[in-house]
Amino acid sequence: SDNERAFNKKPLSTRAAVIAAGPLANLFIAVIVLSIVFSITGYATTSLNYVEKDSPAYNASIQKGDKIIRYDGKKIYQPMDVIQFLYVYKGKPAKVEVMRDGAIFETQISPLKIPEQERYLFGFNVQQISGDLSNVINTVAPDTPAETSGLKPEDKVIKLNNIPVSNKKDIDDFMSNNKGEPVKMTVLRNGTEMIFDITPYMQKLPEQYYLGIEYEFKEGNILEVIGYSLSYAYSTVRNVAYSLIWLIMGRVSFSQMTGPIGIVSTIGEVVEQGTTFLDKILYLLNITAFISIAIGATNLVPFPALDGNKLLLILIEAVRKKPIPPEKEAFISMIGFVILIILALFTVYNDTLRLIRGG
């Protein structure tokens, strides 16, 4: 437009600020939401509160109380960073920087590769007591035999087919022999023994990678919570950039991409994990903040039709000292829009296929 009040007539800095405001608002709101959630729930740090004996971490001289600083040369901001690098690089040996008593040292860790397998589950996980996985139920997954049979959090599993169990290892050992056969499970609920008939379900697991570590959980003050929320947001933004690079390099398959259907499905699954109304609200806020960060970061990518591309064009205009012809800018945006539509259709196909296959 030739109108002096038109957007394209505004100073470059003003146009850049307006364009960047949307994605940055996504990030800002997400940090606020995360700060609220983490102030209530606490958060997992990168310090270790448990290292399993004879595990890959133990054999790499990593100890309880150590703090993981870098994995394969990449800075670690939250436990999920380690998991992401572990799986993207398919469990290859990696150099790990660890802080112990204020001093940093480097060690080599060789993750344990667990082949693709079938396992049988009841549908609950257990509480960790004094660093060990107990036989007390922590959460019950929805639409599983555990929920259908009536098991509840805080139930203590004491017998399986009259075989005494006292921790998670005993339960796993029993299941490795029992497979999918029906089980009479005896639990202690409020001091009363109760027996449930439950048939485990089979789950196919892809190849997994195991380090043998568990992270320390912390309830920080307001400044620590805000600091962690900012680190979490930055880590998520960085992982968006890494994901694009990994897609191009072939480390991550395009079949792993998800779209609106998959996002809605994931939100539903995450919320259902909550056992109380407050838990469900907190889970919903947490994943909403994660999605908000991912959307904001993606929108800043310099790809045609995204805000990041508009910022790049403004930068080019600043270097050239003259604007890019509107018809060329429109052509670039149209190409990007077509590609985005194709990607959207592809993700809908992926999401629909996952739903049909049950995952």
The continuous run of DSSP H or E covering 336 comes out as helix 326-357
Average pLDDT over every residue of 183-196: 93
Q: Find out whether 340 and 347 touch, Cβ atoms under 8 Å.
A: no
Instruction: Note whether 292 and 284 are within 8 A (CB).
Output: no
What structural domains does the chain harbor? Answer: 1-42+219-359 (no CATH), 44-116+208-217 (2.30.42.10), 117-205 (2.30.42.10)
Q: Read off the pLDDT of residues 241-286 as tens digits, 9 standing for 90 and up.
A: 888 888 777 777 666 666 554 555 555 555 556 667 788 888 889 8
Contact yes or no for 127/152 (Cβ under 8 A)? no
Asked if residues 72 and 94 have their Cβ atoms less than 8 Å apart, the reply is: yes
Residue the block writes with tokens 């922590």: 138
The two tokens of residue 125 are 């996980």
| Residue 358 pLDDT exceeds 60 | no
Q: Residue 260's pLDDT is what?
A: 53
pTM listed for this prediction: 0.72
Which of 92-96, 123-127, 153-157, 257-261 has the lowest average pLDDT? Answer: 257-261
